[in-house]
DNA sequence: ATAAAACCGGACTAATATAGTCGTATTTAA
DNA sequence: TTAAATACGACTATATTAGTCCGGTTTTAT
């Protein structure tokens, strides 16, 4: 029912590492080798975090990543949305593509919608620093 | 990150329906047809709930299911464990089969373990009646 | 200049988890 | 005895997640 995806875990591990490195740049390879995370997969995750301004990056032979925001100011909800595109607990609440065939006769939409709100509030309250 | 499985949703819809039916027995077919849920899949879900004493069943031509416990006395945690066998948010916390290759170098196990406890408490507090 | 090492990004494949199906046995009222 | 229901386990199909591959571009030490 609830499962942190590997991508999300890799992101958390990386953010912790990069945060600890301070001003020093961290290469994808550093993290990849230290924690045994597939290089190419990790690279794409960090690229996404860069694109969303959570990380800074510099290219070139001495390039790498640094942290652009403080971990205690990034809510988990934001990270989950970046990595997994959605925080909805059932498909019918992810407006874009609701394919549920039983929407019309479904009797639990409303209560689940309440739960959804509660859940989103929790995700907004928890900061990345709580997870590393 | 968090997603109610269809099985779980079908279980909730069924429990609500059976609860509303009171002493009258409900057949799998009644629910299956009313809510457009695949019959055989639903049957197995209800069988499981019967096995765990959440439902009562009677066989034979006039058979069917009735509720054996009150919905406001069944915590969500129990239903999730029945339907999905686990409430762990990462594989390394589901003792039986931890295949995570990076367990040794993982830096987020401890914080996630705290989150896991918090999460389980929420699941224990929420009753099925909150979801229907 | 050029080589090296990084970032970038899309298409692809592999592995796993979820959803759904099928066949058969058992029970029971009529 | 037959029809309609639960009960169980093996199977298949689909969707999601995880991971790979490849062909770029950018930067910088030499
Ligand atoms: S309509 Fe009901 S069954 Fe379908 S996705 Fe929404 S909550 Fe789940
Ligand atoms: S060891 Fe770390 S990465 Fe592996 S499952 Fe546990 S929390 Fe996730």
> A119 contacts in B (CB within 8 Å)?
2
Which contacts (CB < 8 Å, 24+ apart) does range A55-62 have?
A: A55/A18, A58/A25, A62/A25
User: How do residues A58-99 score in pLDDT, each as one tens digit?
Assistant: 988 889 999 999 999 999 999 999 999 888 889 888 766 677
pLDDT of B39-89, one tens digit each? 999 999 999 999 999 999 999 999 999 999 999 999 999 999 999 988 888
Q: State the total domains in chain A.
A: 1
Q: What angle is formed at CA A52 by the lines to CA A47 and CA A56, rounded to 5 degrees?
A: 60
Distance A66 CA to ligand 2 centre (A): 23
Are B4 and A90 within 8 A, CB to CB?
yes
Q: Whose CA is nearest to atom 6 of ligand 1?
A: A92
User: Given the structure tokens 């934001």, which residue do they identify?
Assistant: A78
Residue percentage of chain A with pLDDT more than 90: 73
Q: What's the gap in Å between A105 CA and the centre of ligand 2?
A: 39
Q: How many whole angstroms separate alpha carbon B132 and alpha carbon B123?
A: 15
Measured distance CA(B15)–CA(B72) in Å, rounded: 11
- C1' of C4 to CA of A43 (Å): 18
Could you tell me if residue A1 is inside a domain?
no
C1’ D9 / CA B122, Å: 34
Identify any residues that bridge with A2 across adjacent strands, giving them in sequence order.
B2
Please report the sign of the dihedral spanned by the C-alpha atoms of residue A19, residue A2, residue A37, residue A40. Answer: negative
Residue B115 domain flag: yes
Please measure the distance between the N-terminal and C-terminal CA atoms of chain B and give it in whole angstroms: 22
For residue B86, the model assigns a pLDDT of 86
* pTM of the model as a whole: 0.94
Beta-carbon contacts of residue B28 (< 8 Å; ≥ 6 apart): B39, B42, B43, B46, B64, B65
Protein CA A100 to sugar C1' C27 (Å): 35
Residue A19 CA to residue A72 CA, distance in Å, equals: 11
Alpha-carbon span B2 to B5, nearest angstrom: 9
Which residues of chain A make contact with B129, given a CB cutoff of 8 A? none
Q: What is the mean pLDDT of chain A?
A: 92
Ligand that lies nearest to the alpha carbon of residue B90, given by its number in the listed order: 2
Nucleotide nearest to A86 (CA to C1'): D16
In chain A, the largest separation of any two C-alpha atoms, in whole Å, equals 59
Residue B33 forms part of a structural domain: yes
In a domain, B74, yes or no: yes
Which residues on B lie below 8 Å from A75 (Cβ)?
A: none
pLDDT category at B26 given cuts 50, 70, 90 is very high
Q: Is residue A67 part of a domain?
A: yes
- Parent domain of A118: 6-130
Output the domain CATH number for residue A93: 1.10.10.10
Residue B67 lies in a domain: yes
CA distance B89 to A90: 17
Asked whether residue B26 is domain-assigned, the answer is yes
Chain A interface residues facing chain B, Cβ-Cβ under 8 Å? 1-5, 8-9, 12-13, 16-17, 34-37, 80, 84, 87-90, 101-102, 105-108, 111-112, 115, 119, 122, 126, 130-132
Give the least confident one: A8-22, A26-40, B48-62, B82-96. Answer: B82-96
B1 domain-assigned: no
Alpha carbon B1 to chain centroid, angstroms: 18
Residue from B63, B71, B78 nearest B28 by CA: B63
Closest by Cα among A34, A36, A31 to A66: A31
Q: Give the residue nearest to nucleotide D2 (CA to C1').
A: B61
What is the average pLDDT score of chain B?
94
**What pLDDT score was predicted for residue A97?**
62
Query: Which nucleotide is closest to B30, CA to C1'?
Result: D5
């Amino acid at each position: 029912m609830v499962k942190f995806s590997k991508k999300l875990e890799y992101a958390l591990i990386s953010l912790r590492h990069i945060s600890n490195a301070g001003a020093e740049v961290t290469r994808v390879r550093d993290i990849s080798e230290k924690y045994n995370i597939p290089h190419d997969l990790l690279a794409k995750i960090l690229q996404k975090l860069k694109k969303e301004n959570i990380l800074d990056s510099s290219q070139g032979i001495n390039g790498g990543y640094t942290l652009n925001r403080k971990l205690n100011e990034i809510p988990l909800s934001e990270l989950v949305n970046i990595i997994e595109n959605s925080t909805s607990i059932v498909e019918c609440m992810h407006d874009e593509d609701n394919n549920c065939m039983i929407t019309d006769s479904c009797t639990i939409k409303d209560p689940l919608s309440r739960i959804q709100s509660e859940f989103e509030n929790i995700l907004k309250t928890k900061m990345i620093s709580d997870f590393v």
